[in-house]
Amino acid sequence: MNVQEIISYAEEHDLSLLLMDGFDDCIIGITNDEIARVVYSEEKILLSLTAMLGSFDDAIDLYGHSIASAYVGERTPLIIRTEFD
């Protein structure tokens, strides 16, 4: 599911969704509950941050301090882990 499909679906179903800037390629879906939220892959976010910052350690720091801990209301995007080691 790409960001255009998400936007079209949201418009068709009168949903108000919040997207994280710069992480469109990390979207894996939307929730199907009372308050719809965009769902992102934690692994894809970390890969994207690593590519932007040049270091996995820097990516982990930024992710933990600025992304994973962010709350912007009931429509805050959901981030899930899809791979386990």
User: What number of residues does the chain have?
Assistant: 85
The Cα 24–Cα 38 span in angstroms is 10
pLDDT tens per residue across span 33-60? 889 999 999 999 999 999 999 999 999 9
Q: What is the model's pTM?
A: 0.90
Measured in whole angstroms, the distance separating CA 81 from the mean position of its chain's CA atoms is: 11
Task: Measure Cα distances from 15 to 22, 24, 47 in Å.
Answer: 21, 18, 29
Q: pLDDT band for 28, please (50, 70, 90 cuts).
A: very high
Domains of the chain by residue range:
3-80
Task: Give the span between the Cα atoms of 37 and 31, in whole angstroms.
Answer: 5
